[in-house]
Amino acid sequence: METLWFYLVAAMVAVYVVLDGFDLGTGALHLFIARTDPERRTVLQSIGPVWDGNEVWLLAGGGAMVLAFPRLYASGFSGFYLPLMMVLWLLILRAISIEFRSHLKSPIWRPIWDVVFSVSSLLLTIFLGAALGNVVRGVPLGEDGYFFAPLWTSFRPTGSDLGILDWYTLTVGLASFLALTYHGAMWVILKTEGEIRERAKRAARWTWPPLLLFVALVTFSTFLVQPQVAERMNGTPVAYLLPLVALGGILSSRRFMAGGRELASFLGSAAFLVFMLMSVVFGLYPMVLPAAGDPAASLTVFNAAGPPYALRVALFWWIPGMILVVGYTTFIYRQMAGKVELDTDGY
């Protein structure tokens, strides 16, 4: 049951990254691909019906993590208190910027919220990537299972004075920014026409080469910083199919975009995100929060899990709940399929 819940939580996080990922990428590109007020309202309208529903997957994944791995929740949320508060404020600012923007028709009011929306989205792509980098690298867990890490120290990913930010976690954060920006560009291409679509295509072309470079850097650095990943992958060579499929997804996305196959290009980008995350998940198992310097102190799916009875009961309720969520998500996306048509003064 512990292993099953580990992969269920990972799958829910992957769905969140794919769905809210294009929201964040769209926001990061907002000021660059939309120049006029109608263009910016068009970009907002492309995510307007779905952005808040996409974020439900973050809450659902976090709730499942609390239920299945309570020690991970207690340790992670205490040690990452400051960055979690920063992420929370960015999520709040991003949400209210979408809602408040259209309350007043003013040449000052709307541009202010456009900047807030774009900057908060951009920073979230980096912060969430850096958070993943911390989980992969490991944290200075104590004997009691808790830790504290300052925002930064020496910028080295090894040693006894680890910080939240170092060269490795920032590299993962920048790779996340590039991946989600590219994913957001694929969404805008899929949902818009005209100048916005052409600017999004140019943004995707500019983003694609550095994205491949940073993915290669992160892969190489991960094998150095976290030997567990390399050992696990080498112990099961078939696991290398996961990053290979991810690479195929991003390459096919670029090729489909050049051929005008917009939906296939977006799905290729989604496949890249999912299989890269699954590569990390497989490489870390059975650890859910590695301990830097002392692997024996790591939180694993076994010592961080809740009682077996609770896991079984939770699974009983999780299955019908997920059927409803997947059904609702599918219905919304089918109803909102097609290109955006700007028909109101709001979004």
What is the reported pLDDT for 343? 67
Q: Is 34 left (phi over 0), alpha (psi -120 to 50) or beta?
A: beta
pTM (whole model) above 0.85: yes
Pull the structure tokens for residue 152: 């930064």
Q: Would 294 be classed as within a structural domain?
A: no
What is the reported pLDDT for 292? 87
**Are 51 and 98 spatial neighbours (Cβ–Cβ below 8 Å)?**
yes
Torsion of CA 101, 104, 105, 111, to 10 degrees: -40
- CA dist 28 and 19 (Å) reads 15
Residue type at 179?
A: A
Q: Which residue range is the domain that position 315 belongs to?
A: 2-289+299-335
Which residues, in sequence order, are bridge partners of residue 300?
A: 287
Residue 139 DSSP label = B
- Distances from the Cα of 241 to the Cαs of 11, 39, 179, 228, 278, in angstroms? 18, 41, 20, 18, 11
How would you write 142-178 as a 3-class SS string?
CCCCCCCCCCECCCCCCCCCCCCECHHHHHHHHHHHH
Pull the structure tokens for residue 166: 């170092």
Q: Would 37 be classed as within a structural domain?
A: yes
What is the reported pLDDT for 274? 96
Q: How many CB atoms lie within 10 A of CB 216?
A: 12
Q: Would 222 be classed as within a structural domain?
A: yes
Q: Would 12 be classed as within a structural domain?
A: yes
Q: How many alpha carbons fall within 13 Å on the CB side of residue 86?
A: 14
What is the reported pLDDT for 53? 87
Q: Would 347 be classed as within a structural domain?
A: no
What is the reported pLDDT for 148? 86
- CA dist 321 and 7 (Å) reads 17
Using the CB atoms, write b or e for 264-282: b if 16+ within 10 Å. bbbbbbbbbbbbbbbbbbb
What is the reported pLDDT for 142? 82
Which of helix, strand or coil describes residue 186?
helix
Packed helices 262-284 and 2-33: angle between N→C axes, nearest 10 degrees: 140
Residue 240 DSSP label = G
Residue 299 DSSP label = E
Pull the structure tokens for residue 164: 């939240």
Q: Would 346 be classed as within a structural domain?
A: no
Q: Would 108 be classed as within a structural domain?
A: yes
What is the reported pLDDT for 345? 55
Pull the structure tokens for residue 151: 């925002």
Q: Would 18 be classed as within a structural domain?
A: yes
Measured in degrees and rounded to the nearest 5, phi and psi for residue 297 equal -90, 0
What is the reported pLDDT for 347? 44
**Chain centroid offset of residue 344 CA:** 31
What is the reported pLDDT for 32? 93
pLDDT tens for the 347 residues of the chain, in order: 999 999 999 999 999 999 999 999 999 999 999 999 999 999 999 998 888 888 888 888 888 999 899 999 889 888 888 888 999 999 999 999 998 988 888 888 999 999 999 999 999 999 999 999 999 999 988 877 788 888 888 888 887 788 899 999 999 999 999 999 999 999 999 999 989 999 999 999 999 999 999 999 999 999 999 988 989 999 999 999 999 999 999 999 999 998 889 999 999 999 999 999 999 999 999 999 999 877 888 899 999 999 999 999 999 989 998 999 899 889 989 988 888 887 665 44
- CA dist 182 and 250 (Å) reads 10
Give the chain's domain count: 1
